[in-house]
Chains A and B, each alone.
Chain A
């Protein structure tokens, strides 16, 4: 919404006399009335109380030199820990000499996504679908190994930002198509499909993600026959994907319901069948309308991945927690957690900026 206001403001230039100077801006925004001035001073004072000591702790008195806790000074942050353990924050316990596999998979992902951003490329949708099917196989083969002389790296050694991205990536790519199908199913006129979709969505939305993860990791193994053990990460991935699909379905249903009935009728009058109508007329409009909702779900999902710590997987947060239990580094919890929070923020902020960009591009038609 903010974007739309900005673009509207950009069209109507303010009169030349009201061009803002710093002082005028301050007077207008911070000191317009006596109580606003009071609030400004009060908030400024509070910020001063909090930020100055924080800045002193995190920057001025901080240590980053050395490679052990002995180098740290009390009173300031000790970023030495983060420096020494950076590899673990990023890759978890993935063996150091095998980390190139993760990097390679990331490079492949980046290269493979380039055509998606080329506006000229015609078959973007087909390409995207193919990518979603093929890339996980490539990724798994690289990460897990066990072929062509690549040593196997068990999923219990996966961790850090890498694991966060794996879980979020799988959740995001699986939840969008699943969510679209569930949303369409919920609006279907076939009673069996409709009730199945409604039951699934309501059931999954009715329980917290923690519960699903917990069931998958603690209860499920007890009901499986002897010797059958699904990988713990696999169980968590399925749980996360199903959970986010249910939320995604409701977001997309909102978009479907906002499409005027005339669009459906017009599509049918053109002689389009159900799938053609849905794929060519309804979904493109509906999805565009709910981009903020979809991205919101993605960001939520990205942060929810940290819940996997409760089932003993080390995502970025879990790794931050594990690292500070090393007796050699005890007492540096604050540094570790702040670094993990910073990592999460970078990704969430990037996602939200990208969504604003997509929104702007897709709403080009409305501005005209």
Chain B
């Protein structure tokens, strides 16, 4: 954390001194060069960004890059990926090396302001959670009084854990490890009752277990980690494009538009919202500087948010992540698109 603060300060200074390190209007530049340069997770994060057997990138974050390309060019393949590490990601965006960053990046105040960046939405609500063996018979994290907890040392996870137990007047015994792989080994060997880290991490760790079905992730989330796409500050037209590309995917799910039925709905739907979303009515594409069928292209080529989630993280993948906070607001989640009108 502290290192990143130093780098943040240094980069702000560099920006102030250079003055011109910020690229011009990204939108024009993207249209001119004919593809979107998207910064993604270079170390790979299961379900968010990884490379398949064919050598192609896939994942929830990748789908967002593709969605933007589909909106701008009507072709989801017009995107190039720049693999980035956690420390390079902001510099790459500031220096204009990439057009947008879609790399499981937590939206925080400092990053949104001092770094000269703009977060334009949240495509995954993550948060710290707990995993226990089913045999323990625990249904809620509030029943964990006196438990021994396996946790990675030197992380904010450790601090959140302490806060949670203190706030609920419970005691616990921390068992700390240096790396996640050690932790997985110890937890499986029964060195501790509870395994805590970010929920997406819990799910991907569980796939490494010998008997993944013997363990369950508890519903409580004790910290906020909203992950979302980032663009340069002051690059508003481009920010709008990325923001509404994400909203189009969420809105499509809410109104039941999928990659399968989108053609039919475009031709026959009488629902005014669907007609507006698919560009049959109104001039929303024009307002964004995009073709009228921009959202149709996203849904046709990538699918709606729910389809993307199920394909990359859902029950049919080895990760088996439940929608939880990432369900639509109509089903008790937090995914909520601003109205298309």
Contacts and interface: CB of A to CB of B under 8 A. Distances in A.
B52 A328 contact: yes
Secondary structure of the B contact surface, majority rule: loop
A218 B294 CA distance: 35
Contact of A323 (B7, B51, B181): B51
Interface string B39-71: 000111111001111110000000000000000
Contact of B88 (A154, A218, A324): A218
A316 to B, nearest CB: 15
23 contacts: A87-B55, A94-B55, A221-B92, A221-B94, A222-B15, A222-B18, A223-B14, A226-B21, A226-B23, A227-B96, A232-B97, A310-B85, A314-B42, A321-B43, A325-B43, A325-B44, A325-B50, A326-B44, A326-B52, A328-B53, A330-B207, A330-B319, A331-B208
A279 B50 CA distance: 52
A119 interface: no
Contacts of A85: 53
Interface string B255-282: 0000000000000000000000000000
Contacts of A312: 42, 82-85, 88
Interface residues of A, number: 43
A226 B91 contact: no
A224 interface: yes
B7 to A, nearest CB: 7
Secondary structure of the A contact surface, majority rule: helix
A197 interface: no
A127 B83 CA distance: 39
Interface residues of B, number: 47
B20 interface: yes
Interface string A302-324: 00000001111110001001111
B81 interface: yes
A74 interface: yes
Interface of B: 7, 10-11, 14-15, 18, 20-24, 42-47, 50-55, 80-85, 87-88, 91-92, 94-97, 181, 204, 207-210, 312, 317-319
Interface string A214-232: 1001110111111101001
A323 B318 CA distance: 15
A84 interface: yes
B181 A333 contact: yes
B287 to A, nearest CB: 28
Interface in A63-113: 69, 74, 84-85, 87-88, 93-96
Contacts of A221: 21, 91-92, 94-95, 97
B298 to A, nearest CB: 23
B286 to A, nearest CB: 29
Q: Considering residues A322, A327, A328, which has the most beta carbons from chain B within 10 angstroms of its beta carbon? A: A327
